[in-house]
Amino acid sequence: MSENSTVSCYDGHSNLYDAYQSKVVPHYQDMLEIVALTCQRYLGSGSEIIDLGCGTGNASLAVLDKIPAGIFLIDGSASMVEIAREKIDREMPGSLRGYKVADLGDDDWYSGLEKESYDAIVSTLVLEHLPFDRYRDVLGKCSSLIKPGGWLLAVEGYDDCEGMLQWFNQQMDDRKKKLDPRLADFVAQIRDQKEVHYYASKAQKEAWWRDAGFEKVHVIWQYLCLALMAGRKPGTSKSTIECPQKA
C-alpha cells in the first residue's frame, strides 16, 4: 500500500463499490455467506468482532445476520467506513461498537484498541494488498488484539496453483462486460492505476500465521485463487468454540 495507493483507490469509488463488487467478483456473495457461517460455527453469541478493512460493511452485515455480535470497523478509507457505519446502524442497530479510519500500512493502525479484547478479527479481500513484511506485522498486531482462544478469519487471494489467478481475473473481465460500461470502465480504470496486490502461496501464508502465534491454521473454503483461512490464538475463551479439525 505504498503511498496509500490502494486506500485511495477504494476511497475514490466507495459510492460505487457495492454495485461493482457484487456483480464483478465471482462468488462474492458466497464468500460472505461462508465467512458468516464460519463465525456462526466458531464464535458464541455476543462475540466482539473487528471487521478489518471493513469496506462498505458487507461482511459485518453477513455475520450479524447469523449471530448477534458487537462490530468494530477499521478501514483506511474514511468514505468506506462512513458507508459501513450507516448501513450497520440502519440494518442492525445496536451492533456497532465503534469505528476507526486507519491504514494497515501504518505502524499505529491499531492504536487505541484494547489488547486481547476481541473474540475474532474478520478480514475480507484486504490482506492481499499488504507487502509481505507489513502483512506479517499486521498478523502480529491482530494476535495481540484477539482474546486467548479467539480467531482470525481472512479471505484473500493466493497464487499457488498455476493458472488459477488468471482464470479468476478472466471471469472478472467477462462479468464487467455485463455492467453499464460507464460504471465498469470508471472503476476498472481506478483499480488498474492504484490497486496493488501481493500474492503468495497458502503454504507460505500458513507459515506466517503460525509464526505470528496462531494455531489450527487451515483453509475452510476456496474458489480458484480466493480462500478463507482460519487460525486460532492459543488459550481458552468462553465465547469461542474449539475447532474440530486437527492442525
Distances in Å between the Cα of 14 and the Cα atoms of 24, 83, 196 are 15, 8, 17
Where does residue 107 rank: exposed (0-12), middle (13-18), buried (19+ CB within 10 A)? Answer: exposed
pLDDT score of 14: 87
User: Torsions phi, psi of 76, nearest 5?
Assistant: -75, -20
For the chain, what are the domain ranges?
2-232
pLDDT tens digits, 36-95: 999 999 998 999 999 999 999 999 999 999 999 999 999 999 999 999 999 999 999 999
pLDDT score of 246: 41
pLDDT score of 247: 38
Write the CB contacts of 199 (distance below 8 Å, at least 6 apart in sequence).
128, 157, 158, 159, 165, 225
Write the CB contacts of 9 (distance below 8 Å, at least 6 apart in sequence).
190, 191, 193, 194, 195
Write the CB contacts of 54 (distance below 8 Å, at least 6 apart in sequence).
60, 73, 74, 75, 80, 81, 84, 99
pLDDT tens digits, 135-188: 999 999 999 999 999 999 999 999 987 899 999 999 999 999 999 988 888 888
187: closest CA among 21, 5, 13?
13
Write the CB contacts of 11 (distance below 8 Å, at least 6 apart in sequence).
76, 77, 78, 79, 80
In this prediction the pTM is 0.92
Please state which architecture CATH assigns to domain 2-232: 3-Layer(aba) Sandwich (3.40)
